[in-house]
Amino acid sequence: MWLINSSIGRKVVMSVTGVALILFLTFHGCMNMVALFSEEGYNMICEFLGANWYAVVATLGLAALAVIHIVYAFILTAQNRTARGDNRYEVATQVNAGKVEWASKNMLVLGLIICVGLLIHLWNFWYNMMFAELVGAMPAISPTDGFGWIKETFSNPVFVVLYVVWLVAIWFHLSHGFWSAMQTLGVSGKIWLKRWMCIGNIYVTLLMLCFLIVVLAFAFGCAPSLCGGSC
Ligand code: HEM
């Protein structure tokens, strides 16, 4: 199968799973914005995404996408190192300098930081919510009270700092990953590549700001849902 055996096939798999994960993040970021305005609205969404069969199936699909993306990342990195030795980022250096080059050189390291952050995040939320509901556990805060779990998590400054670092790492990873995926999926020519870099940077920055605003708003107790618009 060319998607497994050929180098371009493996890059296509990386790109398609990466774009699908960005789509998930877009949904997740929009969903989290609701917490800024309405506790009731946010908890309704969390209840809908709780231990229902369709939500569990979606979680398994998401986990499969993430695992495939990570496994292929290791395979492609090993392949690049064997093929190009020290000069393995030739294409990236030709296309752009500075930030993109740095991100492209450090995609695997950034990916590993993101994985550690994701494990902490899943422990903070998924474990206390969907998993707790599935096994019938009774944590201190109700498993469907997503709003309560956000408040609890970001009342701890250690988590606030860890999440900010995590979001910055995701920003770097996605700002390179976005245009790299577009290139693999057929965008060619310097002009179009530059345009996609620009679109990608704007999109990824807005996306990460959605998450960052929620972290900071809950850390400082400053959101309409927390202070009824008087903060
Ligand atoms: C910083 C703000 C964030 C908040 C407040 C937040 C909140 C939540 C909550 C409440 C859940 C549990 C949903 C439920 O089971 O009903 C959850 C699950 C999850 N979050 Fe986040 N999240 C944030 C950022 C992120 C980021 C940046 C990522 C990805 C890199 C991410 C990936 C996930 C994943 C994979 C799940 C499990 C989804 C599932 O069960 O299908 N989250 N998050």
Half-sphere exposure of residue 154: CA atoms within 13 angstroms, side-chain side: 21
217 within ligand 1 shell (Cβ under 6 A): no
Parse the chain into domains and list their residue ranges.
1-84+97-224
- Tell me the chain's radius of gyration from C-alpha atoms: 19
Reported as a single tens digit per residue, the pLDDT across 52-97 is: 999 999 999 999 999 999 999 989 888 877 876 655 544 444 445 5
Q: Which amino acid, 107?
A: M
Q: Ligand 1: which of 126, 166, 210 to mutate, most ligand atoms within 8 Å of CB?
A: 126
Average pLDDT for 216-221: 97
Average pLDDT for 15-23: 97
Reported as a single tens digit per residue, the pLDDT across 21-60 is: 999 999 999 999 999 999 999 999 999 999 899 999 999 9
Read off the pTM: 0.90
**Counting atoms of ligand 1 from 1, which one is nearest the CA of 50?**
16
Angle between helices 157-184 and 190-219 (to 10 degrees): 160
CATH fold of the domain at 1-84+97-224: 3 helical TM bundles of succinate and fumarate reductases (1.20.1300)
The torsion defined by the Cα of 53, 59, 61 and 65, in degrees rounded to 10, comes to: 180
Q: Taking 70 as the threshold, does the pLDDT of residue 175 lie above it? A: yes
125 vs 107: CA distance, rounded Å: 26
Reported as a single tens digit per residue, the pLDDT across 102-130 is: 777 788 889 899 999 999 999 999 999 99
Helix, strand, coil content of the chain in percent (nearest 5): 80, 0, 20
